[in-house]
Each structure stands twice: as C-alpha cells, then as structure tokens.
Amino acid sequence: MNSELQTTSALLEAWPAMTPEERLEAFERIPRAEVDDFFLELPPRDQAALILALPAGERRIWMRLLAPDDATDVIQEVPEEERAGFMAMLGQTARREVTALMAYQEDDAGGLMSPRFARLRPEMTIDEAIAYVRRQAQSGLVETVHYSYVLDSEQRLLGVVTFRRLFSGQRDQIVRDIMRSELTKASEDMDQEQLAQLFTEKHLLAIPIVDDTGHMKGIVTVDDIVDVVEEEASEDIQKIGGTEALDGRYLEVGFLQMVRKRGGWLAALFLGEMLTATAMGHFEKEIAAATVLALFIPLIISSGGNSGSQATTLVIRAMALGEVRLRDWWRVVHREFASGLTLGLMLGSIGYIRILLWQSLGWYDYGVHFQIVALTVACSLVGVVLFGTLAGSTLPFILRLLRQDPASASAPFVATLVDVTGLIIYFRVASFILAGTLLK
C-alpha cells in the first residue's frame, strides 16, 4: 500500500480514486481508534459498498454506528434484495425510525430529515427545559441543540426556542413566553432544491418538517443542505454541457452508463444538426455561384452558438437560484434584446474590418465584390448573434413553462438550434445584398 495513505485524512482524500479491493484492504488497516470516525465521514454510497464487501459477521457494528437518517441513506444505496438484511442489523428504535424515513422520496425534504430533534413542552420552566434538553442530548436523541422545538401533547409544532434564548432566559420564565411561534417550516414533500433555497434565504441551521396537520416529523440540518446544493449544481452543470446528469462521481460511473448518458443527447443533437445539411442543400446553387460565401459559414453559425450559450447559462443559473422567475420573462427578453444587439454590432464590426483588412493587406482575395461580401457577413452576424441571444434566453422560460428543467436548454442544444437558423439568416441576407452582383 502507498505510504502516503497512512493517515486517515490522506486516505479519505485518495478514496474516490481507489478500486473496491484497495478500499477494503485500506479500511481494514485503519487503527481501531480512528476507524469509526473514518467510516462516518464516507458518503452513503461508499458506506454501503464497504458493508457489502465485509463478511456477514462484521456488518452489524457499522450499521449501528449510523444515525437513522444516515442509515436510511445507506439502505437506499444497497440493492433491493439486500435491504431487508440491512434493516435487520439495526436496533429496534433505529429500525422503526428508518422504516418511517424510507417512505420518503430521496429528493424530498422528508428524505433528508432526521427524527432526532430537541423537544420541549410549552409549560416547562427554563430550568426544566435546559435539564430536559440535556437529558435528550445525553441519550443521543438530538442532532442539534441550536433549536429546541416546542410541541403540544399531540406533537403539533407550536414554536421554537434557540439555545441562546433558552440560556439567557430567567429561570422562572416558562417556555411558552420565550418561544417564537412564527417560524419557518417545510412540508415533507417539498423538493430538496426549494428547501435549499429556503435555507439560503433564511440563514437557518435547521428547518422543522411538518405534515399537513401541523405535526412535527423531524428536522433537516444545514450540513445536509450543502450536499444538496452541490448535487443540484452538478446536475445543472452536466445538463448545460449537454449530458444527462450522471448518477455518481465522474471516475466511478461505469463506461456504459457514461456513453449512454452522453450518447443519447449527442445523437439527438446530431439529428437536429442534420437540418443544417438540409438547409445548406437549399442554398447549394448560391454556394456554387459564390464559393466565397462558404468560407464564413463556420464563423457565423458559431458566433450565434456562442452568444446563445452565454445567454442560456446565465438565465438557467439565475432561475436555479430563484433570482429570475417566470413572471420576469419580459424584463429578461428586453434586456437580452439590448445585449444581443450590442454584441452583434460589435462582432459585425470586427468581422467587417477583418475582411477589408485581409483584402487590402493582400492576405486573401475575396474577389472584386469584397466590400459587399464584408457587408453581408457583418449584417448576418448582427442578426445571428441577436437571434442566438434571444433564443438562448427564452428557451429556459419555455422549458419551465412546460414544467421541464430549464437546464435542459443546454449550450449544445441552443447552439444546434441557432446553427440551422443562422444558416438561413446568412443566406437570406446574402440573397438580398448580393442580388445582381455575385448572385443572380
């Protein structure tokens, strides 16, 4: 084994790149005093794989080490047929908690929730409340004491007390008088992305989850939200790049899954891009008559694609962060129209100057009509960049309206759309400007 893997933190760092066999071997060499903490720091997928790789007799202690929400995550990572066996490894209380948590969708608030939160009754005095929280902490039944939740006798959530409030109260005050009853809560089926937005807006360390009738089911703590935010950003980034979101880490995803996730989109884009060949077919006569036009095809269509990629990624991200909503579409279109026109004029001017420059320096001969060829290229660039910008910025809105993920308006998708339209714009502009000179 590699000598740099001798400390557990070096091992954790190298972990993602190791094979299953190397992992098992390394895991079994970790000193007894450090192995628990090491195990708890692994992601659920790796914890599940490790337990599966261990002999049956050694599995139980690892499952029992996990808090109920983490045990639930691990069980959701093991194959269907192994799940009952994993459940049987748990203690009675934990098994009941895990069974309740398993009912939730992984991507819902309920799936992130822990049933271990500090509870108080409204009629307790501050001193009683502190002693009670302390007892709950001692028995390992709370994830955080930052907030204690005040429940009535039927487990309905009445309010929340922060530790600061609890510790700074007078000993004879009662909980009801110091609790805050207007508080942020979430329902069990709230999507994890929305829940993450709630956390960033409110800057809370935990949010209570309640059912329709106001009964408290558990809490979600902010440390789990960091993972959600990273996961959602990864999904969006992969989609923007024109791939279906991967199910795991890049180096761990199987070759077949990788090719499938990429090949599907790539083939779909390819079929769309075939329309460019069709469009070009319509202009074959023009190309034959004025080959010089063909020279600028890649330049023009890619400028449209690039400006479209910019616009779509900006809007997709702003939507994901809740900065732009459906009702803002008009402001966005307005803004992007101005941006697209400005950027198009800029690129058009550069293109115009480039052609005149090359011609006058004798670097290339665009023929006697080089000035109107330059004008054709410049005007087409303005049109294509403007179209690309508008298409890129409106597509995410259309997808959201159709209840699809706006991130599917990926950079390659927008580029493909703009390629076809860009060709049509270019040849229409050319027919118009070059009629009577290069084109009849």
Q: Contacts with a second copy in 207-266 (CB under 8 A)?
A: 221-223, 225-227, 229-230, 233-234, 236-238, 240-243, 246, 249-251, 255, 258-259, 262-263, 265-266
**End-to-end alpha-carbon separation of the chain, Å?**
76
C-beta closer to a second copy: residue 54 or 246: 246
C-alpha torsion angle, residues 98, 104, 106, 111 (rounded to 10): -60
Q: Do 411 and 240 contact (CB within 8 A), yes or no?
A: yes
| Residues between 150 and 179 with contacts to a second copy, criterion CB under 8 A | 163-164, 167-168
β-strand pairing of 206-210 with 216-221: antiparallel
CA-CA distance, 131 to 110, in Å (whole number)? 29
Beta strands, E only, 152-261: 157-162, 186-187, 206-210, 216-221
Q: Which residues of 307-318 are buried (b: 16+ CB within 10 A; e: fewer)?
A: bbbbbbbbbbbb
Q: Select 103 or 271, whichever has its Cβ closest to a second copy.
A: 271
74 binds a second copy (CB under 8 A): no
| Backbone phi and psi for residue 118, each to the nearest 5 degrees, phi listed first | -80, 130
Q: Which residues 264-303 are close enough to bind a second copy by CB under 8 A?
A: 265-267, 269-271, 273-274, 276-278, 280-281, 284, 287-288, 291-292, 294-299, 301-303
Spatial strand order of the sheet with 157-162 comes to 118-120, 147-151, 157-162
Task: For residue 338, state whether it binds a second copy (rule: CB under 8 A).
Answer: yes
In the complex with a second copy, which residue's Cβ is closer, 102 or 299? 299
Task: Find the shortest distance in angstroms from Cβ 92 to a second copy.
Answer: 21
CB closer to a second copy, 20 vs 103: 20
Q: Does 142 bind a second copy (CB under 8 A)?
A: yes
Is residue 412 at the binding interface for a second copy, with CB under 8 A as the rule? yes
56 versus 326: smaller Cβ distance to a second copy? 326
Question: Cα separation of 346 and 354, whole Å?
Answer: 12
CB of 302 to a second copy, least distance (A): 5
Contact assessment for residue 320 and residue 405, using Cβ atoms and an 8 Å cutoff: no
Q: How far is the CB of 332 from a second copy (least distance, A)?
A: 8
CB 285 to a second copy: min, Å: 9
The token pair that represents 67 in the structure block: 């808090």
Of 87 and 174, which has the nearer Cβ to a second copy? 174
Taking the C-alpha atoms of residue 435 and residue 440, their distance in angstroms, rounded to an integer, is: 5
* CB contact burial 280-291 (16+ within 10 A = b; e otherwise): beebeebbeebe
d(CA 385, CA 397) in angstroms, rounded, equals 19
Question: Whole-number minimum distance, CB 53 to a second copy, in Å?
Answer: 21
Q: 157 and 208 in contact (C-beta within 8 Å)?
A: yes
Among 113, 324, 374, 438, binds a second copy (CB under 8 A): 324
**Minimum CB distance to a second copy, residue 102 (Å):** 21
Q: Which of residues 31-50 bind a second copy (CB under 8 A)?
A: 40-41
6 touches a second copy (CB under 8 A): no
Stretch that binds a second copy, among 72-80, 85-93, 98-106, 320-328 (CB under 8 A): 320-328
Contact between 127 and a second copy (CB under 8 A)?
no
Total interface residues for a second copy by CB under 8 A: 120
